[in-house]
Amino acid sequence: MRLSDCRAVLTGASGGIGLQLARQLCEAGAQVLAVSRHEGSLAPLRQQYPHQLRWLQADLTQSADRHQVLTSAWQLGGVNLLVNAAGVNHFALFEQIDDARLDELLDLNLKATLQLTRLLLPLLRRQEHALITNIGSTYGSIGYPGYATYCASKFALRGFSEALRRELADTSVDVLYVAPRATRTAMNGAAATALNDALKVGTDAPEDVALAVLEAIERNLRELYLGWPEKLFVRLNHLLPGLVDRALRKQLPVIRQHSRATTGETSK
């Protein structure tokens, strides 16, 4: 898919990976409907690309707001690219997650993504070629202590992406699942950042992740996993889960130590 031909709906567009995707899509000549709860850093980007970038304030967990996205997509002249980048994460042991945070995470990461995709699917199917891109995580393939609820949402998103791709195999709509590793964004809480530093976890700049996502879109890939050795860990977790169990068990004291600093911070 040529980026200059894209008419994209991009969720989670006001920060982190989403903001960089908005910037790079506009730089490539795409038309972008940027969806987020707050305008944030999109304001100067809108001034830079007034004829390419439109912003829609929306809470995707609300049905009325999702339908407003659909209306705006029609006004854009239809869309051939949906990028589901909206999401939230809380670093905390599962016993530290209260009902409100659990609902927030699952409602946005999973339910809203599925509901918006279903709503926009008829519009996407009208295109000669369209692509749904779901931004998942390495933690959609590896269950990691301190991120149990987040893992639940991303494992589900990965399964949804695979199943939907197969449902749409004889249509004009493709599905791409992207699994970034830890990414340096303003969403990272102090405890999550300290944990990554203590464990020497590799992290990527959001602009580098966005560039890799757009390259995958251009190449019409089905899946993209980012980071080394994270790709190896994903493979090992599939083939030799006991080996990963033992490795992560050794990290538990460090994870528990840093989890005491928060009852739930955002990351990635």
pLDDT averaged over 10-residue windows placed end to end, the chain, 268 residues: 97 95 98 96 95 97 98 95 95 94 96 98 97 97 96 98 98 98 77 85 93 97 94 94 95 92 49
pTM confidence score? 0.94
Instruction: Please identify which of the residues 139, 150, 177, 225 carries the catalytic annotation.
Output: 150
Q: Is residue 178 part of a domain?
A: yes
92, 144 Cβ separation under 8 angstroms: no
In 73-189, beta strands by DSSP E: 81-84, 130-135, 173-179
Q: Is residue 267 part of a domain?
A: no
pLDDT at residue 254 in the model: 95
Report the domain count for the chain: 1
225 part of the active site: no
Q: Is residue 75 part of a domain?
A: yes
In the chain, beta strands by DSSP E: 7-11, 31-36, 53-57, 81-84, 130-135, 173-179, 223-225
Angle in degrees, 0-180, between the axes of helices 63-75 and 113-125, rounded to the nearest 10: 30
Residue 51 buriedness (CB in 10 A; 0-12 / 13-18 / 19+): exposed
Q: Is residue 264 part of a domain?
A: no
Longest pairwise C-alpha distance within the chain: 54
pLDDT at residue 263 in the model: 52
Angle value at C-alpha 190, between 186 and 192, nearest 5 degrees: 90
Q: Is residue 265 part of a domain?
A: no
pLDDT at residue 187 in the model: 65
The residue range of the domain holding 126 is 3-259
- The Cα-based distances of 226 to 102, 180, 211 in angstroms read 26, 5, 11
- CATH number, position 35: 3.40.50.720
pLDDT at residue 188 in the model: 64
In 126-234, beta strands by DSSP E: 130-135, 173-179, 223-225
Q: Is residue 268 part of a domain?
A: no
Distance between CA atoms of 256 and 142, rounded to whole angstroms?
A: 18
Q: Is residue 266 part of a domain?
A: no
**Residue 265 carries which DSSP code?**
B
In 79-209, beta strands by DSSP E: 81-84, 130-135, 173-179
pLDDT at residue 267 in the model: 37
